[in-house]
Amino acid sequence: MSLILSVVSVLAALVGAWQTPPPAPEPPVAGLTTAEEVLTALETADRGLTSLTAQVIYDRELVLAGDRQQRVGTLYFVNRPGDKPEAPDRRFTIDFTELAVGDRRESERQTFIFDGQWLLEKNWSEREYVRRQVVPPGERFDPLRIGEGPMPIPIGQRKADILARYEAQLLEPGAGLEDHAELAAFAAGSVQLQLTPRNDDDQFREVRLWYRPEGDGRLLPRMARTLNRNGDESTVRLVGTRLNAEVPESLLDTRPPADWNGSIQPYRGSASPR
């Protein structure tokens, strides 16, 4: 979900930062001065949250393929009580409507809907779908769970669970964005959290998360950047975020659309939806 930097550019940025005197530190955002304080605040960030909607801008650059893409659409996220307090019923839809490859931009609608068990992918131009059961029958999956879900923006996840898998560091909002003026401006006023996996089997080498504090002190996701093991980097930006707006059930429907061609794939022991 993001703009990617090549390994060379990452190393160049690191060397440049090492040789350049660091800027004066900015005052702490929302009074948060450590990574653990941020993670503690995120544990309760979903309190009273029933839905989150936002425009989503998803940039991805594949280093080996030399491919750079951007998709623009809308995110609908629903947070409901589950059978157990520690296992909320979380669902999402990402409805992409624009695709840019290089300098070419065009309308292209592609929709992903996840209901906790099934992931439905819809290709509107071809009227084709794929419906995959990505979680064992009878179980549910949190799509925001860091290191497991397709959207690494933890809300309401236990600090201990995150720290068991990642080393966490609090950074200045613009750290790592020195060569990306647009992203640096977008991240201004946010809290940046850098997560580094403790184990080499994690799909990511690094995860960076930006949260912006609301008036009530709640931290809302603003941006996420991930660097995977192949060196591909993705960036997700959430624009115009709205809380607790009504989300029509039709937008969360993972049943096969009528009169479309497609396939249904029951659970086969595959990994989580990434």
Asked whether 67 and 48 are in contact (CB, 8 A), the reply is: no
The listed CATH number (3.30.70.1400, 3.40.140.10, 1.20.1050.10, 2.50.20.10) that belongs to domain 7-13+30-251 = 2.50.20.10
Place of tokens 């280093």: 63
Asked whether 3 and 61 are in contact (CB, 8 A), the reply is: yes
d(CA 190, CA 91): 26
* Strand pairing class (204-213; 87-101): unpaired
> CA angle, 197 as apex, 193 and 203 as ends, to 5°?
110
Domain segments of the chain as ranges: 7-13+30-251
What average pLDDT values come out for the chain (274 residues) when binned by 10 residues?
A: 26 24 46 91 88 95 84 94 73 96 93 94 98 88 64 74 93 95 96 94 90 86 92 93 95 97 88 46
Q: How far apart are the first and last CA of the chain?
A: 10
d(CA 70, CA 104): 10
DSSP 8-state symbol, 25: P
Asked whether 233 and 225 are in contact (CB, 8 A), the reply is: yes
Q: Radius of gyration of the chain from Cα atoms?
A: 19
Q: pTM of the entire structure? A: 0.82
Q: Decide: helix, strand or coil at residue 272.
A: coil
| Residue type at 107 in one-letter notation | S
d(CA 71, CA 100): 6
* Strand pairing class (261-265; 128-133): parallel
State residue 85's pLDDT score. Answer: 62
Phi, psi angles (nearest 5°) of residue 207: -130, 130
Q: Decide: helix, strand or coil at residue 41.
A: helix
State residue 2's pLDDT score. Answer: 32
Give the ranges where 30-172 is alpha helix by DSSP (H).
35-43, 159-165
Beta-carbon contacts of 224 under 8 Å, excluding residues fewer than 6 positions away, are 1, 2, 151, 152, 153, 207, 208, 209, 210, 235, 236
Q: Decide: helix, strand or coil at residue 164.
A: helix
Place of tokens 């931290």: 219
State residue 4's pLDDT score. Answer: 22
Asked whether 26 and 172 are in contact (CB, 8 A), the reply is: yes
Place of tokens 């503690």: 40
